[in-house]
Amino acid sequence: MKLLILGGTIFLGRHLVEAALAAGHEVTLFNRGRHNPALFPETERLMGNRDGNLTALKGRFWHAVIDTSGHLPSQVRASAEMLSESVEHYTFISTISVYGNISQIGIDEGSAVMTAPEAGQEEITAGSYGPLKVACERIADQAMPGRALIIRPGLIVGPYDPTDRFTYWPFRVAKGRTVLAPGRPERPVQFVDVRDLARWTLDMVQRRASGTYNATGPDRKLTMRQLLSECKAVSESDAVFHWVDDNTLLELHVTPWSELPLWIPEEEEMRGFLSVNCKKAIGDGLVFRPLASTIRDTLEWSASRGRGVRWEAGLSPRRERELLQKLHARTT
């Protein structure tokens, strides 16, 4: 299969390329060449900018394109319309953040999405990210009727994750001692290993699947306690978990999701974010590797970054110590 990937050198795109090459596909990358330009020398590299310079895509043919980097409607419209006669199939990587009522448990593909912004409103903020992705989905579907696959992942995790939103936990638990653990231990969490998502996406592309799919995991209930316990088992650390309830963490001004990844207070409107219904994708072949494998590989990759790396999420050691001291003072 001749495959065009828009992006392809940072996280999901990087793993898509690795999986595609391993499967023997002919891969072309289109990006600005700013991130990891030395990666994948065996692929064709086309340089351009989605904000106006798509010249390198003109007059070419691919069996399929996977759009991993479309965040703005104008970007997706330009690429999808240009490629509508040049590719047989278009996959757009969206997000579960498109759903309008994320407090609902068990959101499926038929649940209502946010209202798309007015044409020309393309500033990306915390509040506009989901609506902009809604608009991007519709544009891709309109440009490729019956040939568009819309994938809505949740939290994507694993090696090369630039966000550290999962990496924090294996790394922190491996360091041992007292670990500040957030919320109710039995609350569910969801995420998908980037390699599982990449392989399933490629399989769906090869089958020319269309329609919309939620794509997160696992295929069973996973609690925060189970996740942290598995991190401890894999790293063989001496970690002891100090569980702190939602209200106390909020009183201490701890920021959900960023300072304590995978923590969203259960009374807030986002609680459905970690309880999404993915039966459709699982029924169409999405499978998940053992959690221990994701944790172990994430730890190995994190260690390869060396000391002094800037963490994009998670509590700093100093901040965690201060919080644990305040919590201890409350009980003495």
Which CATH number covers residue 173?
3.90.25
pLDDT tens digit sequence for 31-52: 988 889 889 999 999 999 888 8
* Co-location of 69 and 125 in the same domain: yes
Residue range 241-250: mean pLDDT, rounded: 97
Model confidence pLDDT, tens digit, residues 253-301 = 999 999 999 999 987 777 788 999 999 999 999 999 999 999 999 999 9
Say whether both 11 and 48 belong to one domain. Answer: yes
Place of tokens 């399929």: 64
Confidence of residue 120 (pLDDT cuts 50, 70, 90): confident
Number of domain units in the chain: 2
Residues 52 and 180 in one domain: no
3-state helix, strand, coil in the chain (%, to 5): 35, 20, 45
**pTM, to two decimals:** 0.96
Beta-carbon-side half-sphere exposure of residue 129 (alpha carbons within 13 Å)? 7
Domain membership of residue 124 as a residue range: 2-153
Q: Do residues 16 and 114 share a domain?
A: yes
Model confidence at 224, pLDDT cuts 50, 70, 90, reads very high
Residue 6 belongs to some domain of the structure: yes
Residue found under tokens 């399989």: 203
**Domain presence at residue 149:** yes
